[in-house]
Amino acid sequence: MSSSATTSNYLAEAETNGFLDLSELDNAVGNDEVIWTDKKQTTSTWRQLVPRLLIFLFIGLSSLAFTLSLAHYVLDIGLPRTLEDVKSTASHLDQLLQNSWTGYGSVTIVFSVLYLWQQAFSIPGSVLLNLLAGYLYGILTGGVLTSFLTAGGSTLAYGLSMLVGEPLIHIPWIARKAEPLHHQLERERRSGGLFWWLLFARLFPFSPYWLINLISPLLDIPVMPFFWSTVFGSMPYNVVCAQAGDVLNDLTSTSDIVTASLVIKLLIVSFISLVPVIWGKAIQQWTRKAMGLPIADDDDVEKSLRENDNLELIHQDNTIRHHDRLS
């Protein structure tokens, strides 16, 4: 039975009252069609999602087994879970680093694999690996290395989120909720402000990295600004951790690293990163005017965005019709 209780209730009420408003009947039938389409789309989404979740589980377990086996058989270490684990692991790895270039390469490769895996699956404890990097490689090298590894691992998480979460964005009610944010991000991308917003999100000390990694591909954020904003956005914190790792033996707790002054400094830096977003358009227009170049009209940008939105709506409508035919 394709009609829902909404239409049935309206017809019953109309029969009782002795009138039938065709416009209200059309609205009721239209609502039924939306609800029916939403239910069919949700069912189709779960059919696509379950196999992807199984693939994700397989990737997670197999990569965990590979990573731990590599660390154990090559360096005879495990994934450090406490500060004491880091201290004992650091002294062992430091000897391997000093012995030969082969030892240096082995330590760097295994450390990178551990870090990438931990970031890809958003496993807590990256601060411990940051400390280890500072102890082994020094402040500058350790900070830069962990920043690129943070970006690399986050990009892997981006890919995993795309694998698992892509069907979710086609659920109508999720798509409707995400549409305003998606359009805002598209406007920022076209105006050149997307990178700075992403950088702010990474620099802001209270931003959940795992959530940024999860939703970015679902909002069509391009990989390159995602990657580079993570590199530069994570660098201040990673350098501070590497600096603490340089005096690892003096630390008694990881809470010694994150102090109130550090949080304030990160807040200041994060808000400074918004300067190009807030005043970037005015600076860009002033520069183009000084160089004698044409200045972009806001109406042209909005018109382009509306045309793009219309194309997306047509694509979504065609997708729903395609799913309806398959069902």
Give one DSSP letter per residue of 97-120, joined into a string.
HHH-HHHHHHHHHHHHHHHHHHHH
- Residue 156 pLDDT exceeds 90: yes
Say whether pTM exceeds 0.85.
Answer: no
pLDDT, residue 154, reads 96
Three-state secondary structure call for residue 258: coil
| Residue 257 DSSP symbol | T
pLDDT band at 78 (very low <50, low <70, confident <90, very high): confident
d(CA 306, CA 93): 57
> What mean pLDDT do residues 55-65 have?
94
- How many other C-beta atoms lie within 10 A of the C-beta of residue 248? 17
Q: What is the rounded average pLDDT for all residues in the chain? A: 77
> Is residue 319 a contact partner of residue 48, using CB atoms and an 8 Å limit?
no
d(CA 200, CA 178): 20
d(CA 126, CA 230): 15
First to last CA, the chain: 15
* pLDDT tens string 192-226: 778 888 888 898 888 888 888 988 888 889 999 99
